[in-house]
Chains A and B, each alone.
Chain A
Amino acid sequence: MIYHGYYSIGVGYKMSKSQITNNIRKLRFEHNEMTQQELADKVKVSRQTIVAIEKGNYSPSLELAFKIAHVFGVPLEAVFIYTP
């Protein structure tokens, strides 16, 4: 059986780390040094989630990604960069 994102039994592979990077940290500093908590409050998630996104440990849903871009007033591509 293969589990999406997990080690498959007998094969032993892991889903590659996210190929999406982001500029959230830079954008926060450019917007009056917004804190992670402030950004989290604006997009209605926890600070833990913002930390995970900034570190590249979590790829947000489309809705959350758009909300973050809307907070900074920039297009989605200015916030998240996909590297094939």
Chain B
Amino acid sequence: MLFRERENLVYLISNIVVSTGYFLYIAQRYIALGLDPSDDFNFWGSAILVIVPIFVVTRLIIRIIFSIINAIVTQREEPDFLDEFDKIVELKATQNFYHVFMFGFFVSIFTLVLDMPPFVMFNILMLTIIIAGVVGDISRLLFYRRGV
């Protein structure tokens, strides 16, 4: 397995672990607080906003740790630039991310049309962000392994 494949596999696993942990934490907190439906917007709005910096910071930390461990194990310095192949893989993986996200977004909006409580919409939106991220990571991994 080459560097980018290993790197994306690590990102994928960390993404799943962190996302699942965060989602379970938020769900437990929501149940424990026993909020009024009118407070749903405040709670879920902040929960979704916080997930973005969590993903960014986690990705950064994982990247630094992985680079250090990889350098120690392989005794090789990997390129720190993105060449044309990396850019195309990133482009296509991001495309897949957006497709999944848009689908989930419309599903979440549709729950409002069905008069479901707001927390259902927010849950679907949060799950959409998580699943889209996972799809993006899996796409990157597959493109690196099988080509574009």
Residues of A within 8 A of B (CB): 3, 5, 44-49, 51-52, 55-58, 60-61, 64
Residues of B within 8 A of A (CB): 2-5, 78-79, 83-86, 88, 92, 95, 144, 146-148
Q: Would you give the shortest CB distance from A63 to chain B, in whole angstroms?
A: 8
A49 lies within 8 A of B148 (CB): no
- Which residues from A are CB-within-8-Å of B83? 44-46, 49
A64 to B88, CA, bound (A): 14
Which chain A residue shows the least CB distance to B95? A3
A8 to B11, CA, bound (A): 28
A57 to B84, CA, bound (A): 14
A5 to B2, CA, bound (A): 24
A57 lies within 8 A of B2 (CB): no
Could you pull out 20 A-B pairs where Cβ atoms are within 8 angstroms? A5-B92, A45-B84, A45-B85, A46-B78, A46-B79, A46-B85, A48-B4, A48-B5, A48-B85, A49-B84, A49-B85, A52-B85, A52-B144, A56-B147, A57-B146, A57-B148, A60-B84, A60-B85, A61-B84, A64-B84
